[in-house]
Amino acid sequence: MTDQSNHRGADRLVGATIAGLGTLVFIGALNMPTFEERSVSPWTVPGIFPAFVGAVLALLGTALALRNAPPIRTQSKSERPQMGGLIGMLALGLAYIALVGHVPFAPLTIVFLAGFALVFRPMALSGQRPYWAIAGVALFVGLIGFGIPTLFETVFLVTLP
């Protein structure tokens, strides 16, 4: 599979998704109330503009899915996203977002930072002199984990979740 065919395939998928979303928006807009019982002007009903947006999205998505994609520059190896880093960041980040509000903020942040160090600095932490690396990471985790919540709560007077 070349970059160009991958790109074309991705464009088709995104285009079909946008066309589907546009169609749903259009149908949803048509089903919105017209408030005839309130003698509302038919030109101000809530669905009129969403119908326009939905129709345009459906058209643009269809055009993207059906067209011949313009040629793209082939990405060098260094430009391609590294899946390991991406999956690690996504997993940690989404878990953190899901738990905010359910777990006290400062402990959650400390666990997140420690997890981040374990995922992204495993070599440093298991190297020849791991004690210094572990001490450095622990200091960083402690400073940021307590520092940011304290800063927001005391200086900016924000009550954290």
Partner 1 sequence: MIEALQNVLTFQSIFNVAWATLFGIMIGSLPGLTVTMGLALMTTMTYAMDSTQAILVLLSLYVGAIYGGSRTAILLNIPGTPANAATALDGFPLARSGRASEALGLATTASAIGGLIGIIFLATISPMLANIALSFGSFEYFWLGVFGILIAGYMTSADDPLKGWITGFLGLFFALVGQETMHAYPRFTLGIPELTAGISLIPAMVGAFGLSEVLATMSRRRAELAGGITGRVVPSFGTIWRNKVNIVRSGVIGTGIGVIPGVGEDVGAWVSYAAARQSSKSPDEFGKGSTEGLIAAETGNNAAISGAIVPALTLAVPGSAPAAILLAAMYIHNIRPGPFIMFENPTFVYEVFWILALASLAMLVFGLLLTRPLLMLLRVDREYLMPVVFILCVIGPYALSQRVFDIYVMGFFGVLAFILRQQKFPMAPLILGIILGDLIDQNFRRSLRIADGDVLAFVERPLSAMFALLCLLTFLAAIPSARRLLMWPWRSRASEREAPEIQKSEPVGTAGSREKKEQT
Residues at the site binding partner 1, with contacts judged by CB under 8 A = 7, 10-11, 14, 18, 21, 25, 28, 32-33, 35, 40-50, 52-54, 56-57, 60-61, 63-64, 67, 70, 72, 78, 81-83, 85-86, 88-90, 93-94, 96-97, 100-101, 109, 112-113, 116-117, 120-121, 140, 144, 148, 152, 156-161
Nearer to partner 1, 129 or 158 (CB): 158
Residue 121 CA neighbour count, 13 Å, CB half: 14
Residue entry with tokens 């495993």: 122
Task: Please tell me whether residue 57 adopts helix, strand or coil conformation.
Answer: helix
DSSP 129: S
* Cα 133 from Cα 121, distance rounded (Å): 9
Nearer to partner 1, 134 or 148 (CB): 148
Rg of the chain in Å (alpha carbons):
25
Residue 108 has a CB neighbour count (10 Å cut-off) of 20
Q: How far is the CB of 99 from partner 1 (least distance, A)?
A: 10
Residue type, 1: M
Nearer to partner 1, 41 or 131 (CB): 41
Nearer to partner 1, 101 or 130 (CB): 101
Q: How far is the CB of 12 from partner 1 (least distance, A)?
A: 11
Q: How far is the CB of 126 from partner 1 (least distance, A)?
A: 15
Cα end-to-end distance, the chain, whole Å: 47
